[in-house]
Amino acid sequence: MTLREKLNAAVKDAMRAKEQRKLSTLRLILAAVKDRDIVRRTESDERDDDLIISEIMARMIKQRHDSIKAYEEGGRLELAEKEREEIDIISAFLPRQLGDEEIETACQAVVDELEATALKDIGRCMAVLKERHVGQMDFAKASQKVKAILST
118: helix, coil or strand? coil
Residue 54 near residue 134, CB atoms below 8 Å: yes
pLDDT of residue 47: 66
Nearest to 61 by CA among 36, 35, 83, 31: 83
Percentage of the chain with pLDDT > 90?
Answer: 59
| Concatenated DSSP letters of 6-24 | HHHHHHHHHHHHT-HHHHH
What CA–CA distance (Å, rounded) separates 73 from 69? Answer: 6
Tens-place pLDDT, residues 1-26: 888 899 999 999 999 999 999 999 99
What CA–CA distance (Å, rounded) separates 96 from 147? Answer: 24
- Distance, CA of 122 to chain centre: 21
What CA–CA distance (Å, rounded) separates 94 from 116? Answer: 30
Domains in the chain: ranges and CATH: 3-91 (1.10.1510.10), 100-151 (1.10.10.410)
Residue 89 near residue 22, CB atoms below 8 Å: yes
- Distance, CA of 125 to chain centre: 19
pLDDT (average), residues 100-118 = 92
Residue 87 near residue 61, CB atoms below 8 Å: yes
Nearest to 83 by CA among 57, 97, 63: 63
pTM of the shown model: 0.71
Residue 129, pLDDT above cutoff 60: yes
